Structure 1
């Protein structure tokens, strides 16, 4: 029988040679100096050989233990060499089927038409809160307990940062993103259970504050803050454009110079692309025409001098040819001390004030892009009301300028 001391002293020769230990376990010494443990066996009348690895990474004691394990498999009719390959393949499959690996596959395969902003939100959630808990876990081992723990940790992380909120919304966003990956794994036959469903009501998000019209003092304060705002002109112009146009934040952010017709004094949003429809940022898949007041026209001409060589009208001041971030406008309002106001409130204010002045609700709804589900009638009314809306929007811009 071999001893560890003897194995250490074995020297390479011109050709490979073998030294027997016991029970058909031997060490093979190669001309390169490598020493490989091997075990020769017979199963169903056929001879086979299995390698246990290289010495000294695999010691004599470990090699004997592996030999005993192989003999135990042989006793039950299993081929130790085939079982080793099977175990290796299972390990490789586990690595490929970790939550992180499948999440990255999901991004590549299913987020092709999502915006950079949406993908960034997904990846931020994964990297900050999800991967540390289940990233390296086989996806079929992810449980509801894991998801709940991630949600609780997310709440704690958000609450530990000043002015970042209470964390419930971020926790539920993580749960929804995990659910997307789990359901993708189900349809691709990597798992058969979505553990996010059981904890969907575990943490309640704060009640959504719906848009409401601005109070008189808020209108005055807003106009004063806009005049004295010391930040970027593009962000200030974006807010001013929202006030004059009654557009949504998403429409302001995605507005391209190709939509703006200075001669006709209109902004014409085309039908939503496939990507935008999937993201549901456009409420209806139709052309939306916005008549420009003199004030909005002048503002757009001013903005043309700033971003006219870029794709987006209100392009990010920090990244060329990228749109403003989702939170830029509301962050600006918070920065100037108007955190109680949101960009959504501008549209509610316009709707309330114009209805109060007696303008036809059909004109207001068309301007807000709350068109009728009847596509033929909606298209007809949109064109029919354009002249009326042009006058209404000029009156509205004058009303906004009167917030002093």
Structure 2
């Protein structure tokens, strides 16, 4: 038997040589000076050798323990080398089937035809809430308890930010994403059940807070708040555009310069092409034309100097050319202005209420709000209807908003 002192004293020679310990264990000294543990054994009459690591990373005691474990496998009729290969293959299979690996494959294979915006939404949910909990877990081992943990953690995270609701909707979306990936895993024979089924109903969707018109005090607070807004000019211009146009926040965020025609003084939102995976620019994915008031024309001219070299009229302030404004940017800006209970959607309700009170034609208002026409054939051809009436209405509406200033 050898000792640590003996091993340390062994010197490299011109050729590889071995020094035996006991029961098949030996240390192999190579010409480069490295010292490797080897276990020599016979299985079914055939001589074999198993590597047990490098000295001194693997010490003498650990090498003897590894030798004894290999001997026990032999006693049980198992070839140590084949068992090592089996375990290595099993480890590789586990690594290939982690929830993160499968979800990345799911995004490539199943979401290729979805819009970039939707894929980004899924990826952000995975990165923020899901992968930190189950990303490294074998997909077949993901449990209902894991899903419930993610749901609760998501709700807590959203509530702590105090920006985007109470978290239930975000948690339900995360549950939906996990379920889709698990069902893909089942279809590709890497899992046997979907753990999201057991936790269905564990969270209730909060009551929808319908849009409501701004109060007189909120109208004044908004118009004066925009004037004194300390954030970026892009956000300030987006808020005013939101108010003047009666557009939805999604339409503000996805408005591109190619839709803006300064000569005709209109904004023309096109139909998104599904074949090109384009993001829809309006809620119902229909053509929507917005005539410009004088105020809106001036704002967009000013904004052009800010972002005219980018795709979006109101791009993300600190992101790349292809990134539109963040989904919560406008609502966050309103809260910072002191409008704690006002959302971007409330400006549409405000416009509808006030303009109806002033006896503007309901058809003009509904058309400008881009509410869907129940007659789909008619809706396909009347996107430019009431154009001059709506232009005059929006000019008067912009003047009304400016009158809110104190």
* Shorter-normalised TM range: 0.7 to 0.9
- Residues in 1 aligned to 2:355 and 2:157: alpha-carbon distance in whole angstroms: 43
Distance across 1 between alignment mates of 2:162 and 2:147? 25
Structure 2 matches for 1:95-110, cutoff 5 A? 95-106=95-106
Write the distance in 2 (CA, Å) between the matches of 1:305 and 1:28. 73
CA contact (8 A) 1:114 1:275 kept: no
Q: Is the contact made by 1:99 and 1:139 (CA closer than 8 Å) also made in structure 2?
A: yes
- 2:84 paired with 1:80: no
1:67 maps to 2:67: yes
Match of 1:365 in 2: 366
Tell me the residue number matched to 1:348.
Answer: 349
TM-score (norm. length: structure 1): 0.83
- Whole-angstrom distance in 2 between the partners of 1:162 and 1:292: 35
Does structure 1 residue 330 correspond to structure 2 residue 331?
A: yes
What does residue 313 of structure 1 align with? 313
Question: What is the alpha-carbon distance in structure 2 between the residues aligned to residue 264 and residue 163 of structure 1?
Answer: 38
Closer, same or farther: CA 349–95 of 1 in aligned 2, 3 Å = same
Which position in structure 1 is the counterpart of 2:89? 89
Residue 78 of structure 2 aligns to a residue whose secondary structure is coil
Residues 183-222 of structure 1 aligned to structure 2 (within 5 Å): 183-222=183-222
In structure 2, relative to structure 1, the CA distance for the partners of 1:390 and 1:21 (3 Å cut) is same
Using the alignment, how far apart are the partners of 1:160 and 1:75 within structure 2?
59
Deviation at 1:276, TM superposition (A): 9.5
- Structure 1 pair 390/277, CA: closer, same or farther in 2 (3 Å)? farther
Matched, 1:182 2:182: yes
Mark the CA change 1:306 to 1:136 in structure 2 (over 3 Å): closer, same or farther: closer
* Alignment correspondent of 1:244: 244
Instruction: Note if 1:145 corresponds to 2:138.
Output: no
CA shift in 2, pair 1:34/1:300, >3 Å: closer
Post-superposition offset of 1:280 = 6.0
Q: Measured at CA, do residues 399 and 331 of structure 1 come closer, stay the same or move farther in structure 2, by a change above 3 Å?
A: same
Q: Tell me which residue corresponds to 1:51.
A: 51
Tell me how far 1:249 sits from its aligned partner: 0.8
User: How many equivalent residue pairs?
Assistant: 403
Bigger mean CA deviation after superposition, 324-333 or 58-67: 58-67
What's 1:379 paired with?
Answer: 380
The residue that corresponds to 2:36 in the other structure is 36
Is residue 258 of structure 2 the alignment partner of residue 270 of structure 1? no
The alignment's C-alpha RMSD in Å is 3.4
Distance in 1 between residues matched to 2:161 and 2:235, nearest whole Å? 25
Deviates further, 352-361 or 304-313: 352-361
Residues 276 and 282 of structure 1 are in contact (CA less than 8 Å); yes or no, is this contact kept in structure 2?
A: no
Please state whether the residue corresponding to 1:382 is helix, strand or coil. Answer: coil
Unmatched tracts of structure 2, length 5 or more: none
Alignment match, 2:284: 284
1:308, distance to aligned residue in structure 2 (A): 2.9
Change (3 A) 1:54 1:229: closer
Structure 1: segments with no counterpart, 5+ residues: none
After TM superposition, give the deviation of residue 126 of structure 1 in Å: 4.4
Kindly provide the CA deviation profile for residues 154-203 of structure 1, in whole angstroms up to 9, marking residues without a partner as x: 44445556777655455445444444543444444433333233224334
CA–CA distance in 1 between the matches of 2:101 and 2:88? Answer: 18
Q: Structure 2 length as normaliser, TM-score?
A: 0.83
Deviations 1:350-394 (A, max 9, x none): 233334444444433332222336543212232344344334434
The C-alpha deviation readout for 1:191-239, integer Å capped at 9, x for no partner, is: 3333233224334454331212223443333233334434433322222
Range that drifts further, 177-186 or 231-240? 177-186
Deviation (angstroms), 1:118: 6.6
